[in-house]
Structure 1
């Protein structure tokens, strides 16, 4: 038996000879009349010496009971710990529009593989295990997919605090590439993403596959090349993250994408899926507002006079939302106290937040507020009253002076819901910055399930409130959290030079509308680097734009630049937020470049960031992508005034627009003026 599903430009086909189904094809969309029986026959391997007499299939859940030579997709036991090695037989299918469920059984256990073709062009896959008795699960993989043979490397993601979203290019070798996030969140270290490029794949051309595990509580990834040469990829919760016996277990969804247009095809699919399916917007038609966040301006030193003055300056620069960060509650004068005590600090705010909010709203801005609901300080009224609400051992080491609340407990979630909801009910708040600043002491699926429940209850009670996911910056960014939030804080580092690279790589997975990016201080608070305002502002304008420095301390000249870029962002944000980010293949490694292309292809903006001195004297041509070869485009350098004194030649873009065909722009490219490091050239394009 065989089945096929199509999503956008890709096809997944499955087959079985009576056991668990296996993938017989994953790649570019097949013709409608493709003979699936012949396709299944073409996927059968030969046998040779040194092998058993039957090659076990690489099924959607590889089975330890079939002498499979690789990592099994299921490790389970009876409730008393007796190992189980079920050998499944295919039972039946259940199908609906765009959804296929393949159901198999063994030893009182039912294994169901759900495959959904989403309208956004991605596949989502999930494994569900149900038993007629309590059993234990050590490992359950989402439906297992084959990795391409025409590939030398895989690309996964690594990071740390203030240096998130770094791409690892790792060679395939016989054996396992194992990555496991055991910190209780998706993590800076091992975000749940994997790209599988074929030979010759670049940003703009070639074939690639990609997977994203939509779960926020930590995960395990196995990319394995078997002794026979086949390759498999498995994603699931961390090993042993479900310690309690139960009758039902389910993985998170695995999002799968195939591209025939290079890494940009992967990026465009993930961006559209996140924006149009995963995120549920309170008001989809509302423009993404310009943020002002006060954290790097004042930290914990809150006064109504200072914050009112800051709000005045922020509004004058063009801010539309004012976010009061950490320090407004309990006795929160530093990060050692009061997490969990979600009541207004009356020493700082004797009349509550009402005077500040009234002032902010009088300036035409909405108001947002920082919370960290999942955490507690040992020095807090909550911990003194309920030390038993802590997650993990009593004698554990704190992280950032914090402990974690056990969100598997209903009474903990009830307390947090009531406390946060009371603030949202009393004050006119349209935005929460939701932080998560320490690693978990234990790995348990129940903690993430509890967090999801808390998010869902608050969303239902306050449907107009947007939520940003922040976890020491970018420590919890995945489709699981984005199904409950509307923005992610990519990094606590807003140094524009670091952000240029981070945003470029994160665009493989994240659309601009959810990626918060702020203009920081002249001297970065996380690197000490000093960068010009134009560069800081244009880098932030690539994504959901805002600023975070003390606006009382910037010069008149810098304020003028910031107002200009803010106005440009407001004029262009709607089509940018709905469009695609396409990374460019720059011939010069000192240039990080991308295009943002409107949904209808009628306009674009090119950002080319110069992050170091070039080896050659003059800039190399920069080829564009995603355009209609036969169309003509007018291109205009938006910021010629940013040229350095050394730029003294007849570069045409400095003097006015050019009109070129899409073929010329993509084939030969454009020549930008000479640039200093920490310069961003901005080129606007319009199809004629």
Structure 2
């Protein structure tokens, strides 16, 4: 028997891969960093499980692509058939393995069927493993692909729970956990996009894992179309997680190649916070490329919930002036600006400015926006068309899916696989970007797809790539009725996500906290909504709405003409605070805190060099105790001393705080060591529900 071994290392973790007798490689370890002189052969055989009765006579490896021919009795990594439907069982042979630094390339062939499989594994310094594969037909016969997973990693026995996200429109990122059980658990998105309730993400947790401690392993598929996630436990106790595109029955012809999306895996020994910080670094250092990285993230004003389709040049100028006075730096003109768009029943696809609403085009509005010191952004929904539109009347054959399909928000989707469709959209958007000084596109996608294939998503990526190449100065936001298309596939082509169509600050605070596991704060749009929330009907205080927005990429989305003097003053103050702190916040390390009060959601961001931090603690509903539980901080230097002060000392709910002796509310502040703050913790003042405690800390 021959055994080849490889390892990939970061400062905090190690991945070990082996191949026996030139067979498909497998990952035999991923976890805390191992000694550099560890005997990987001994590790391999030291962790092999014994065989028992009523099994095959050889060990079936849980390889990067588990194969049935080896005796594997669970979901395989690659399911194939010929064009007559006969199953094809692979037996790949490793013909080449190359390692350059922390990157591994495996090349395998399957001589009987005629296939080549190339696997690439790259470990980033921030402990994120990027894994992807390419399958090529090298034989003379076409094959049908039923299932093609990204490379598969084992789930260690110490992982006792799975965490993933469900959700809905206006209620995205609802965390759910379940214990491992024998058998398979499957989640699929058939929407043709990521989906409000189908984030391609999961985490495997240990029994002691929390935000701040314990081992955590994470998976995220960088793909914006339909996808599948499988978690499976075998009879012998081994476990696997597979992520793949939803692409059943795809035919691959001779010399054609199909690749998988990148799967981003992370290991943390510091709980969920270690995992999210690695993912945030991946976004900052590899995936997100801002047009001007040195420019501070601008405060947005979006006019949608102020005017909807009721566009008036004078009214918009008034809103722009007020927004600038409040501190906004980018004005986004939302839906309703283009030809015939007076409601959501018509005009999608006709991407020219409505001459009735804007006789001189958008120039007068943009000139005013520039005069008051803001940049200009524009809403578009290029992938969609209304049946009542000039585009549909001219090209009904451009629609994706069957004619008898249901409408969604009164619209259909365009078939981006049609070259003429892609060219039309590119020309229409290019014409707008050439004529007007547009700094930003809010790119929406307001319906699920019928009859979509994975090529639709690839064509969408292609359109974004073409536009970004010609207009590199334009920033793009991914919106899909809120959070319907949030993943690392779209974020490799855009710069910001609209987390949800809900501007209810209570719901937003929860969603932002959960989404932080995969989203850095500077790319997560969060707007101060109207006094009465349009999606929930709740009336929430301005301070709470503004502080929730100030914890991410801040903006306003309301009719500013309705603000009273007190609300205006509060919004100005918190916006000024955000602008003074945004640069260090968006380079810092975000930590979710382990609150002992289920009604309190708390997190803190520590500056990259550790010299300061800010703590947000929001009360979601009346607490059960009649006082506050102690809140432990995290991510601080144990021996350093910190001064803590409230960022809003004058807004304490005095009627319910009869006696509170903490100097946090005073100018001198509370001074404690990092060790004390992380072990003893601090007490926060009592607040009413929908209030935010914001505490600033500085290292002395």
Smaller-chain TM-score bracket? over 0.9
Check conservation: 2:58, 2:71, Cα contact below 8 A.
Answer: no
Aligned twin of 1:594: 603
Match of residue 13, structure 2, among 10, 23, 42: 10
Match of residue 553, structure 1, among 562, 575, 593: 562
Compute the displacement of 1:655 (Å): 2.9
Structure 1 range deviating more: 652-661 or 256-265: 652-661
Cα-to-partner distance string for 1:128-169 (whole Å, 9 max, x where unaligned):
111114322111011001112112210011110000001110
Q: For residues 241 and 596 of structure 1, do their structure 2 counterparts lie closer, same or farther at Cα, with a shift above 3 Å needed? A: farther
Match of residue 180, structure 1, among 170, 179, 188: 188
Aligned twin of 2:657: 647
Distance 1:17 1:322 in 2: 60
Cα-to-partner distance string for 1:559-581 (whole Å, 9 max, x where unaligned):
00000000000000000011121
Match of residue 50, structure 2, among 46, 50, 54: 46
Compute the displacement of 1:243 (Å): 5.2
SS in 1 for 2:656: coil
SS in 2 for 1:120: coil
Aligned twin of 1:142: 150
Check conservation: 1:324, 1:368, Cα contact below 8 A.
Answer: yes
Aligned twin of 2:88: 84
Aligned twin of 1:660: 672
Cα-to-partner distance string for 1:31-73 (whole Å, 9 max, x where unaligned):
1111111111123110111211112100100112333111011
Q: For residues 179 and 339 of structure 1, do their structure 2 counterparts lie closer, same or farther at Cα, with a shift above 3 Å needed? A: same
Match of residue 102, structure 1, among 106, 118, 121: 106
Compute the displacement of 1:284 (Å): 0.8
Aligned twin of 1:399: 408
Aligned twin of 1:207: 215
SS in 2 for 1:447: helix
Distance 2:441 2:204 in 1: 36
Check conservation: 2:59, 2:71, Cα contact below 8 A.
Answer: no
Matching of residues 66-85 of structure 1 within 5 Å? 66-85=70-89
Matching of residues 108-257 of structure 1 within 5 Å? 108-132=114-138, 133=140, 134-240=142-248, 242=250, 245=253, 247-257=256-266
Distance 1:686 1:575 in 2: 13
Check conservation: 1:214, 1:252, Cα contact below 8 A.
Answer: yes
Check conservation: 2:61, 2:70, Cα contact below 8 A.
Answer: no
Aligned twin of 1:437: 446
Aligned twin of 1:454: 463
SS in 2 for 1:578: coil
Check conservation: 1:73, 1:140, Cα contact below 8 A.
Answer: yes
Check conservation: 1:185, 1:475, Cα contact below 8 A.
Answer: yes
Distance 2:692 2:349 in 1: 43
Compute the displacement of 1:392 (Å): 0.7
Distance 2:169 2:465 in 1: 27
Structure 1 range deviating more: 622-631 or 73-82: 73-82
Check conservation: 2:287, 2:492, Cα contact below 8 A.
Answer: yes
Compute the displacement of 1:498 (Å): 0.3
Question: 5+ residue gaps in structure 2?
Answer: none
Check conservation: 1:467, 1:487, Cα contact below 8 A.
Answer: yes
Check conservation: 1:642, 1:679, Cα contact below 8 A.
Answer: no
Cα-to-partner distance string for 1:171-228 (whole Å, 9 max, x where unaligned):
1110111011110111111110000011100100111100000000121111000111
Question: 5+ residue gaps in structure 1?
Answer: none
Distance 2:210 2:695 in 1: 23
SS in 2 for 1:3: strand
Aligned twin of 1:530: 539
Distance 1:281 1:96 in 2: 29
C-alpha RMSD over aligned residues: 1.1
Distance 2:127 2:76 in 1: 29
Asked if 1:27 is matched to 2:31, the reply is yes
Structure 1 range deviating more: 34-43 or 264-273: 34-43
Q: For residues 244 and 86 of structure 1, do their structure 2 counterparts lie closer, same or farther at Cα, with a shift above 3 Å needed? A: closer
Compute the displacement of 1:424 (Å): 0.6
Q: For residues 119 and 496 of structure 1, do their structure 2 counterparts lie closer, same or farther at Cα, with a shift above 3 Å needed? A: same
Structure 1 range deviating more: 269-278 or 288-297: 269-278
Cα-to-partner distance string for 1:404-429 (whole Å, 9 max, x where unaligned):
11111211111000000100100010
Compute the displacement of 1:96 (Å): 2.7
Distance 1:507 1:148 in 2: 25
- Structure 1 runs of 4+ aligned residues shifted over 6 Å read none
Check conservation: 1:651, 1:673, Cα contact below 8 A.
Answer: no
Check conservation: 1:242, 1:445, Cα contact below 8 A.
Answer: no
Check conservation: 2:164, 2:177, Cα contact below 8 A.
Answer: yes
Check conservation: 2:660, 2:685, Cα contact below 8 A.
Answer: no
Aligned residues between the structures: 688
Distance 1:322 1:686 in 2: 34
Structure 1 range deviating more: 29-38 or 446-455: 29-38
Structure 1 range deviating more: 7-16 or 361-370: 7-16
Structure 1 range deviating more: 60-69 or 162-171: 60-69
Cα-to-partner distance string for 1:222-267 (whole Å, 9 max, x where unaligned):
1000111000010010141745646211100000100000010011
Check conservation: 1:2, 1:40, Cα contact below 8 A.
Answer: no
Distance 1:150 1:83 in 2: 35
Distance 1:305 1:230 in 2: 66
Relative to the length of structure 2, the TM-score reads: 0.97
SS in 2 for 1:297: helix
Check conservation: 1:10, 1:257, Cα contact below 8 A.
Answer: no
Check conservation: 1:238, 1:443, Cα contact below 8 A.
Answer: no
Distance 1:378 1:63 in 2: 48
Cα-to-partner distance string for 1:411-461 (whole Å, 9 max, x where unaligned):
111100000010010001000000001001024110000000000000001
